[in-house]
Structure 1
Amino acid sequence: MSEPGADEPAPRHLALAILLIVGGALGILASFSLTMDDLTLLSHPDAQLGCTISAAVQCGKNILSWQGKVFGFPNPLLGLMMFPAPIIVGAAMLGRVRFPNWFWLVFNLGHWFALAFIAWLSTESIWFIGTICPWCSLVYAVVIPMWLTVTLLNMSAGRYGRALVRTGEVLTGWVPLITLVLYIVIALEAQLRLGVLQQLVG
């Protein structure tokens, strides 16, 4: 059983570091692309964005909606501010930097916020705005495995209490499957509500 604050075994340490670096980089890419699209629409409201594939698969309606500026500024700016964090943490892990328990809990809190935010955004996008945004979907795709892996690491290290250590250790091996299931849930929502497959192949 791992002691709280102990170093993770090398394979898990390396896998999490790579996940955080790649996930953070892809999140920045998506956030930057959405920000540029937002700027394009500000100067050219009728512009055809590169992320527009069909009426249901596009970014424009999301960017222009109130949900796209829920905090009073474009949502992608949050991504540009937050996604560098996992890159920095992942790089530090590769350098064998040891973070205290409180740091991992605060870092995980950021992932819980990100997960709750994308869950709300995906629901709003699919069921109320009537689109599935490609760049937003990339954000969903990276937040889910990062949130899951960091949360289970904290559980297995005892940072959420001894009672959850075994659960964290067992579920860690199921991260790819759980991630895939969550992807499928979002994809099924999009298909049931928007008929995305028919639009992509039509």
Structure 2
Amino acid sequence: MTTSTDTPDARPAPARDQPDRPPLHTSGGDRRLGAGLVVGGALGLLAAFVLAVEKFRLLTEASYVPTCSINPVLSCGSVMGSPQADAFGFPNPLLGLVGFTTVLVAGAALAGGARLPSWFWAGLQVGVSAGVVFVHWLVQASLYRIGALCPYCMVVWVVVIALFTAVTARNLTATAHRLPPAARPVIAVLHRRQTVVVTVWLLGIATLIAVRFWTFWRTTLG
């Protein structure tokens, strides 16, 4: 007599619906972004620290001439003595000391493999967005109100624009699956061409500077 034994069904269970995942974002990308945040945060922090020292000496030493006061256009003293240099009632470099330290620490954590929560990325996006708006307010003030440029400040401009572009590209990439499909190719291009975006952006500012001070440049270089 033969006995039959029930054998488990070998067919694979139907796959459960999986939620869409970000098409471009990877943890490796966050590590690379972390390294970039470390570099950008360090450069910005250094520039902010130098500006804070220069501002302190300018306030405490009546005859002090800042090291970056080179000529009538490249003149940190003119910029630091303007109302725009204390936009919130205290020296602007203090904002940089806090903001760039935060960026540097976050970058070190990401480069080390940390996975930061979504609320942190939202907060960082708000921070870099506010920073880039503030930087452009300072750009127009330097060009059309103060009539002078601060070399250390311009380092901060470059860093903030680069940080804004990198963080925005990362956050858009990470949330691309929630956006309309038509937006995804644009986000992919932004993700891959961040250097191009930053370069074009900075060339635009450089063009404004060249036009605004064209007479001075022509006289000096001619």
Alignment TM-score, normalising by the size of structure 1: 0.90
Q: Look up the equivalent residue of 1:79 and give its one-letter code.
A: G
Separation in 2, partners of 1:40, 1:160: 51
- Alignment of 1:169 onto 2:191: no
Separation in 2, partners of 1:190, 1:93: 36
- Superposed, 1:87-126 pairs within 5 Å as 87-126=104-143
In the TM superposition, structure 1's runs of 4+ consecutive aligned residues that sit over 3 Å from their partners are 196-202
- Alignment of 1:188 onto 2:207: yes
- Alignment of 1:145 onto 2:145: no
CA contact under 8 A between 1:30 and 1:135: conserved in structure 2?
yes
Note closer, same or farther for the CA distance 1:185–1:200 as it changes in structure 2 (3 Å cut): farther
SS in 1 for 2:199: helix
CA contact under 8 A between 1:51 and 1:59: conserved in structure 2?
yes
Separation in 1, partners of 2:221, 2:75: 15
How high is the sequence identity, in percent, across the aligned residues? 33
> Which sections of structure 2, spanning at least 5 residues, go unmatched?
1-18
Structure 1 counterpart of 2:72: 55
Separation in 1, partners of 2:140, 2:177: 29
Alignment TM-score, normalising by the size of structure 2: 0.83
The CA deviation at 1:167 is 2.5
The CA deviation at 1:197 is 3.9
Structure 2 counterpart of 1:157: 174
Note closer, same or farther for the CA distance 1:177–1:7 as it changes in structure 2 (3 Å cut): closer
Note closer, same or farther for the CA distance 1:192–1:172 as it changes in structure 2 (3 Å cut): same
CA contact under 8 A between 1:52 and 1:58: conserved in structure 2?
yes
Structure 1 counterpart of 2:12: none
Q: Look up the equivalent residue of 1:182 and give its one-letter code.
A: W
Separation in 2, partners of 1:46, 1:152: 46
